[in-house]
Amino acid sequence: MRTQVAIIGSGPSGLLLGQLLSNAGIDNVILDRVGREYILGRIRAGVLEAGTVQLLQQAGAGARMQAEGLVHDGIDLAFAGRHHRIDLKSLTGSPVTVYGQTELTRDLMDHREATGGRTIYDASDATPHDFDTARPFVTYDKDGTTHRIECDFIAGCDGFHGICRATVQDRGIRNFEKIYPFGWLGILADIPPVHHELIYANSERGFALCSQRSRTRSRYYLQVPLTDTAEAWSDAAFWDELRRRIPADVAERLVTGPSIEKSIAPLRSFVAEPLRFGSLFLVGDAGHIVPPTGAKGLNLAASDVHYLFEGLQGFYGEKSEAGIDAYSGRALARIWKASRFSWSMTTLLHKFPDSGAFGQKIQEAELDYLVHSTAASAALAENYVGLPY
């Protein structure tokens, strides 16, 4: 098989890149080691920056998001028993859109199928080869046979544990990483959200987040030690602890119900440099991970796609290599700014093992300054809604 761009990974970044390329007449094939239903079974976040929303619309897969997504003009910061609203729209001119990543992925899959795009699921051992030569190719196994796809470029959209970054570990790549000493215990439940916008809560007992997927489906999180397991937390214990970490007036409005999904996600910050190795490009989680506190993971994957698509479009449309040459530098500049913001939000809102009472008071003082200073609120809002591409 021959294609122009081989994409390894059919998560949001691979699907979005593939659709933009197809729309521009650039042939591509997407490979994934698992099946469609397995991918759609993964629960992920869903706060979308305006740039991500625009890319989905550009891809032609934004109709359901436009109809069902929840536009949020602000967020709440809760601390010391009170909560304060940060008006994102008035401070920056932009809102964010809450739309589950699972639904976004489904929309991209359906649109790719409807427009004739090629996706090969259950393609095990998909591996990039000769990406430092003029004849790169990808191999994969399916139905007991090894297949080969010759291509011009390879996009590694295969996630943090994928083969693409592992393949270049001995080629001068640098990994920067911070592991946080806690995780997020998350519950998904078919209950109305406690608030129409997200609430980020700092408390002496630890961080909590009141989030949502729709007007009838809620997502809540608690900071927990890495030694905890989801199975050790009953639904009742989760709701009781959440009430202790959010302001009393919010806790009184909380509607509870049985969880339909419960899991613990460890938190880490990770960036790989560079993101280009010959004709191989790392995209999304293959090249970077941020803690979910700043709602940047999916949005950074989208900005990577934006930069790479621009580069490939310039290569095929204008015979220029300027865009693909600039991809790594442009993407990393935005990645590091978002990593700084996510680290800052994580540091500000979570309880750290060695922080003590003094650390708690410093966090509360910083939060109090942030919500009462227009300049500080504007800086937070600018980062939260997304820096320009």
At residue 161 the predicted structure's pLDDT band, cuts being 50, 70 and 90, is very high
Query: Residue 388 falls within a domain, yes or no?
Result: no
Query: Residue 338 falls within a domain, yes or no?
Result: yes
pLDDT tens digit sequence for 100-159: 888 999 999 999 999 999 999 999 999 999 999 999 999 999 999 999 999 999 999 999
- Give the per-residue pLDDT at 43: 66
Query: Residue 208 falls within a domain, yes or no?
Result: no
Contacts 24+ apart (CB under 8 A), 102-106: 102/40, 102/42, 102/43, 102/44, 102/46, 103/46, 103/64, 103/65, 103/68, 104/12, 104/46, 104/48, 104/56, 104/65, 104/298, 105/11, 105/12, 105/15, 105/39, 105/40, 106/40
Q: Which domain holds residue 52?
A: 5-70+96-177+268-345
pLDDT tens digit sequence for 201-213: 999 999 999 999 8
Residues whose CB is less than 8 angstroms from the CB of residue 279 and which lie 6 or more positions away in sequence, other chains included: 131, 132, 136, 151, 152, 153, 154
Structural domains of the chain, count: 1
Query: Residue 298 falls within a domain, yes or no?
Result: yes
Among 72, 83, 306, 350, the active-site one is 72
Among 200, 220, 221, 316, the active-site one is 200
Residues 285 and 160: beta-carbon distance below 8 Å: yes
Among 99, 220, 316, 384, the active-site one is 384
Phi, psi of 248 (to 5 degrees): -60, -40
Distance CA 198, CA 78 (A): 10
Count Cα atoms within 13 angstroms, Cβ side, for 25: 4
Distance CA 286, CA 321 (A): 23
pLDDT above 90: residue 375: yes
The CATH number linked to 335 is 3.50.50.60
Is 372 a residue of the active site? no
Distance CA 374, CA 169 (A): 44
- Give the per-residue pLDDT at 34: 85
pLDDT above 90: residue 20: yes
Is 292 a residue of the active site? yes
Query: Residue 185 falls within a domain, yes or no?
Result: no
- 231 secondary structure, DSSP code: G
Q: What percent of the chain is modeled with pLDDT above 70?
A: 99
pLDDT tens digit sequence for 30-87: 999 988 888 887 766 789 999 999 999 999 999 999 999 999 999 999 999 999 999 9
Query: Residue 85 falls within a domain, yes or no?
Result: no
Query: Residue 378 falls within a domain, yes or no?
Result: no
What average pLDDT does the segment 183-191 reach? 96
Q: What angle, 0 to 180 degrees and rounded to 10, lies between the N-to-C axes of helices 356-372 and 322-349?
A: 120
Is 72 a residue of the active site? yes
Among 296, 306, 350, 351, the active-site one is 296
Among 292, 306, 307, 316, the active-site one is 292
Query: Residue 254 falls within a domain, yes or no?
Result: no
pLDDT above 80: residue 265: yes
**Who has greater pLDDT, 42 or 254?**
254
**Amino acid found at 264:** I
Residues whose CB is less than 8 angstroms from the CB of residue 211 and which lie 6 or more positions away in sequence, other chains included: 45, 47, 98, 193, 198, 218, 219, 220, 221
